Amino acid sequence: AQSVTQLDSQVPVFEEAPVELRCNYSSSVSVYLFWYVQYPNQGLQLLLKYLSGSTLVKGINGFEAEFNKSQTSFHLRKPSVHISDTAEYFCAVSDTTGGFKTIFGAGTRLFVKA
Amino acid sequence: NAGVTQTPKFQVLKTGQSMTLQCAQDMNHNSMYWYRQDPGMGLRLIYYSASEGTTDKGEVPNGYNVSRLNKREFSLRLESAAPSQTSVYFCASSGGLAGGWYEQYFGPGTRLTVT
């Protein structure tokens, strides 16, 4: 079974500052990793994903994440945030053995201040 | 493409009433899912359908039933609503080809209140 821990429930940051949203996972098998973003009153949409290959993955809106297998982490970063990045961000993990279940973290609310 | 659509957007029920949440996708995805979202708990899987004709329980199936009507449609039914089922419900779909894994595409959600 997998589990996901998002280490911060809320992250306030000033506009144009860098941000890191932390995600750790546990699993006894190989995993695929995802970050989703949810804007107010909307469904989730994919920000980026790690399936295999390069451990640094780039997503939409200037976000990137690095898969660290030894630390079982998949932290999300952006070098300079905008007001429009204010949203809730979810880390998610699924196994690669053919299952169809994705486990989501509890979410991190990013609040960008002017 | 409309992607994943859900109806209704909002619903208020009294305890004991029943209702069906509808979901449809036009991306020819094999797999479909129902989640509930509660504050501080992320998304929890209620039921999923790996392919047309199959359904399986997720993490929190009690009090719910599902029907995979065809490849496009996947409905969620509350037979006797309880206040604990007050939540935001999301439908999602994914390609789900055998041996692989794909990101999920989400609908806009249904906000359900049970009084």
Give me Rg for the CA atoms of chain B.
13
Structural contact between residues A5 and A24, judged by C-beta atoms closer than 8 angstroms: yes
Chain B partners within 8 Å of A107 (Cβ): 40, 42
3-state secondary structure of B84: helix
Displacement of CA A22 from its chain's centroid (Å): 7
The predicted model gives A25-54 an average pLDDT of 91
Interface of A with B (CB under 8 A): 4, 9, 32, 34, 36, 41-46, 49, 51, 90, 94, 96, 98, 100-102, 104-107
CB atoms within 10 A of CB A51: 15
With CA atoms as reference, the chain B residue closest to A48 would be B103
Q: How far is B36 from chain A (nearest CA, A)?
A: 11
Chain B partners within 8 Å of A9 (Cβ): 40
Chain A partners within 8 Å of B109 (Cβ): 41-43
Q: How far is B14 from chain A (nearest CA, A)?
A: 23
3-state secondary structure string across A38-107: ECCCCCEEEEEEECCCCCEEECHHHCEEEEECCCCEEEEEECCCCHHHCEEEEEEEEECCCCCCEEECCC
CB atoms within 10 A of CB B106: 23
CA within 13 Å, CB half, A60: 9
pLDDT tens column, B34-76: 999 998 888 999 999 988 889 999 999 999 999 998 999 999 9
Q: How far is A70 from chain B (nearest CA, A)?
A: 22
| Ranges A23-32, A36-45, A78-87, most confident | A78-87
Contact across the interface for B101 and A32, Cβ inside 8 Å = yes
The predicted model gives B2-26 an average pLDDT of 95
Chain B partners within 8 Å of A100 (Cβ): 31, 33, 48, 50, 56, 94, 96
Contact across the interface for A94 and B40, Cβ inside 8 Å = no
Q: How far is A98 from chain B (nearest CA, A)?
A: 5
pLDDT for the residue numbered A98: 55
Structural contact between residues A52 and A68, judged by C-beta atoms closer than 8 angstroms: no
With CA atoms as reference, the chain A residue closest to B37 would be A106
pLDDT for the residue numbered B101: 47
pLDDT for the residue numbered B108: 95
